[in-house]
Structure 1
């Protein structure tokens, strides 16, 4: 399917550009063969239109269907006889995923990641026991990542008739997600802990444990799918439920991980999941979706040395005082504590000067951004020339048309993006995810820098 990047509104000199910053950090599992692209003319302006990116995408599996009989039958073709470790939280999604895989003929076990580093009375790989007493929680972990979650997951596994394991993830979680999130907030960025956790914990630590325990695959209850690229390589794709699609959070996990992953709920809507869980009398059928972060950032940041500073407008006029730049994010209006004759929003955070800059809503719109380049999934390398595709700048934001330039190497390279239409509140620290022109398959992404 071809996609047209229509020429954008341009300025008087015939082009439209954005102020891009140079940045490189991160890592990727792409090989050196995927190209050192540093010779590219990165100082050349990005302009519309660019060459349409034309990639052939096909479903990885045909079990994505609203007919549940067909769904289960086709799932069985993928998993029958295979040993699969299911990440379980005790919620309806992971509970149903485990049951469906078992019904499809897989050899299934459940595993729960415990983020509380103090919870070491149940060692990794040991079966959980009924009536196990939860240890004292550390101050920064919410119930999402404690033995309370593990207990619910163990009950769900018992109802499904499958073994259950507990995997201690506290050390990795604190180092890779909690501490890095705190550092990013202090630098005026807004981190995406869910995407970071998927990379380092769910598809990092858990995937490694699955290999050690001789499982063929891991499965999760994510609302996302898999597809094949032009050379048969596996790509992430959007889930069937657009309101629940979680592919955005998975962009960083890397190509190698996808060879051992399955998403049983990829073709289902949320209401279908609850209906199927209820039909099987699963205890989790009506359990509310978790909306909480797995750790309490407020308490952690409160422990940091508080550093108040100025809130200024774009002309440098001091309007008030802030309570630490980590309390603010781009686009924020509430909680500023300043009054003005028109609504004010956070338009910039300056960590060097310890200032929060506010301005009108129109100041939040920008024509482009720069991000680190972390992953690319189809083929051996992305196009050498600027190309046109869809990009998503935050969860629940619609994907938009953009021209993209990729330079350097994955893990140390740069993504430069020019939107067809200016976008509101581009936020450093969030993920920039690239989708194919049909907005179905995930191609790659990075972390927004500015």
Structure 2
């Protein structure tokens, strides 16, 4: 038998049980905490009953451990819950739930292990009838926040394990699982939540460097999307030679407009159907693809906004891109002219479109909704909602909304600044 097999056959050494701390008190009469554990602000209590003090203490510690994990998880959940959001996949709704995050649970377990070293025995009692020992153990909640080393270790361990998993995911020739990739991205949210919670604010700078390094790795993995147009209606998506299987990809268009779904899905071999209608533009119309990050925990800490160079494929234009512009919501001709000129310039630069006053292939409408001017100290504030749509004879192609705001020295000044803010907003789209 080989050495490796022999090593596997040998029983693994079991961890030594924690030494039982000395009891502060030994009751002679049956104490009330046996039936009703005490409740006290800032303290966690646990009880246990067993033939030995060691076993009874273990039971009491387990009861406290469960409470500690709830305390730690609640901090992580409170911090992250405001960032959780719903996603729709395969026709159904998927709720990204921090309560079920594997990394939140594992992080809390690591911190809990260290915190339990501070559990003490407050009282013990031996039942004269069955000779069993009863133990009352306690933990000061302040010990959770005091375990700075445990918090740092938890964060660094989570990042290290996630980086190892990511490295194995990106091995050349291996198929990439989008779900596994997103699970690793969720580590960013968990670690960031740990650092923003009360128990991690003091020490979070100790894991900032590995956090940034892992974030760069995730960003590179997310932008590793190499797309090939196999025929007019199919593409293959891969990364380092491995298929990007069962993935939901977001579509992008530049150099024109395409009647195209916002999202497509690959099969187990990384192949996806590319269903599209008319292609409006000239010779430079291209479609790009990247991972859909909607509903992914930790996605707010990721930065890829556009597909990588190898993620684009070229399409042949089927119709010229002529656009008729409409601007709604301006109060006078000067505002209309300024906005329309800026919109026309953006449409020509963004899509290579030709502007026409007659009916074009595409109707582009920009609708502005100005709010009420509000005094803010010595200034005036004005917020604006803008909605941009591009509609062909087949239906909407582009539909975007946004908000812009401005401060001004007077009501007239803030109106001018708000309009400029709106123009700057859509020109960045």
Higher relative contact order (CA 8 A, sep 6+): 1
Instruction: Sort the TM-score into its range (normalised by shorter chain).
Output: under 0.3
TM-score by length of structure 2 reads: 0.23
Query: Bigger radius of gyration, 1 or 2?
Result: 2
Which structure has the highest strand share of the two? Answer: 2
TM-score by length of structure 1 reads: 0.22
